[in-house]
Amino acid sequence: MMKFTFHPFHLVNPSPWPLMSSIGAFLLTSGLVKWFHFFSTDLFLVGALSVILSSVQWWRDIVREGTFQGLHTLKVQKGLQWGMILFIVSEVLFFFSFFWAFFHSSLSPSLELGGVWPPAGVEPFNPFNIPLLNTAILLSSGATVTWAHHSLLHQEHSEAVNSLALTVVLGIYFTSLQAFEYMEASFSIADSVYGSTFFVATGFHGLHVIIGTTFLMVCLARLLMSHFSASHHFGFEAAAWYWHFVDVVWLFLYISIYWWGSYLYSTSSTNGFHPWGLLQMISSE
């Protein structure tokens, strides 16, 4: 029997996935602590698998509700948009803490580091090699995902598929180059505060690139199955917003950690440079 409603909201049916996702997240974080302290990854892998499976099932239900059951009204879509915006804002604050840690350590190096930045013995990456190539790749992927969005709005299905597939390829290429850069690094996460801030900031960004690429791959599959139309495609819009956020974060990472950090290294005749010395030289002139 058809059920009629007299409001624009979607009252969801009872679902096990929020509880299962919470249990998986608890196992994941507990397993992370166990991994760090006891070097055992069994609980971490169980938690990660639980989170992935619960998320996939939950998102499958959301796709069914919005695409096949027509339960995502304009009011519901507006709520989803605000939810995605607030999520991205929380991610901005998340990365803000990493930049705060980097500049706190680099602008006022501690005496234990010799009062220089980068610390003695640490050779940073050349910003004009792989980092610059990765910057060009991410900026290009931002252009291609925008191309895909406009193609979808103009109902040009083949162009939308091709441009979105190109975006996915660029995302995978970026991740591959980032992994190669990590393998070729002359320092590790254990090499002073420079190594920890570098690998945590760029590593979490790399994780977001992997998540964003997966998000876009799901959108590509849904696009091939004709789930999106010119007026109903919030899943794709959310992926595009997330990808542009990843692009902007990388620009800040490149400018501050790769370019500015290596500039301090290259302008010094020794293996380190006091940041305030640059300001003193400028003011003396």
Low-confidence ranges of the chain (pLDDT < 50): 1-2, 269-284
**Cis check: omega of the bond before 118, within 30 degrees of 0:** yes
pLDDT value, residue 113 = 67
Looking at the DSSP bridge assignments, the partners of residue 57 are none
Each residue's pLDDT tens digit, 161-193: 999 999 999 999 999 999 999 998 888 888 888
Q: What is the pTM of this model?
A: 0.84
pLDDT value, residue 177 = 95
Does 72-284 carry CATH code 1.10.1740.10?
no
| Topology (CATH) of 15-71 | Helix Hairpins (1.10.287)
pLDDT value, residue 281 = 44
- What are the domain boundaries of the chain? 15-71, 72-284
Each residue's pLDDT tens digit, 205-244: 999 999 999 999 999 999 999 888 888 888 899 999 999 9
